[in-house]
Amino acid sequence: MAHQHGGGAGHAAGGAGAGGPSGMVWNWDTDMTILFPFWQTHGTMSMLASSLGIAVVCFLLEWFKEYRHINDPLWIEQLERTAYSSSVDTDDNASDVELATAQPSWASDQTHHRGGSGASPSKHSPSSSSATVHHRHDQWQSWKLQLIRTSAYMLELGASLIIMSIFMLLNGWISIAIIVGTGSGFFLFRMGLRPKSLVHPSGGGHGGAMASGSASRHTAASTSSC
């Protein structure tokens, strides 16, 4: 019985050695499986090739992080512009309806004496239809921008989790590749530069012209209603 027990223990130890290190132990193995059964390394050259590929992925991930870090504020700014334009168009449409429905007392009396029903303004006026179409377009643009932001966030999160899982193998070759790839990408891409529209948000440009044009339209509509 003791012999059988010892043989079983030796078999278990041999299986652990063949499959890789048991537990999270720092190692410099060149024969191992990386995340997936089909991703295996056999020898030094195979490990170096895999480490190089991991380093390139880490390098490109730093570029994508900076790309998203720069463009996400621009996407948010476009969302705010779309929401503001939609709200201004809604206010302008409400002002037009108020002006169309406002009818002098003498006109209503004259219509009553003539026995006519009067031409009541249609609820589906051309301006109302145009505002509805524009509102739907703005809503679609908002959803599209938010979908782009979400997709970029999910891609960055997924790639970061995969790299973290690879690092948890605690292999020296792979760890060095992750550190070198991430560090070189950070050095080249993460300079902290920002677009001019974000550095000088109060400047002119298309956004300022859009806001001023919408504000002037809203002011003109308010003046007409008064």
Position 221 confidence tier, pLDDT thresholds 50, 70, 90: very low
**CA 68 to CA 59: how far, in whole Å?**
15
pLDDT of residue 22: 45
Cα–Cα separations (whole angstroms), residue 115 to 83, 100, 102, 104, 109: 46, 22, 20, 17, 10
- Higher pLDDT: 153 or 206? It is 153
Examine the pLDDT at 219 and tell me if it is beyond 80: no
Beta bridge partners of 94: none
**pLDDT tens figures, 101-142:** 555 554 555 555 555 444 444 445 555 566 666 667 778 888
Tens of pLDDT, residues 21-79: 445 789 999 999 999 999 999 999 999 999 999 999 999 999 999 999 999 999 999 88
Helix (H, G, I), strand (E, B) or coil at 169: coil
pTM over 0.85: no
Residues shown for the chain: 226
What percent of the chain has pLDDT above 70? 52
Q: Which two tokens stand for residue 156?
A: 């960055």
For 37-51, write each residue's pLDDT tens digit: 999 999 999 999 999
pLDDT digits 0-9 by tens, 143-182:
999 999 999 999 999 999 999 999 999 999 999 999 999 9
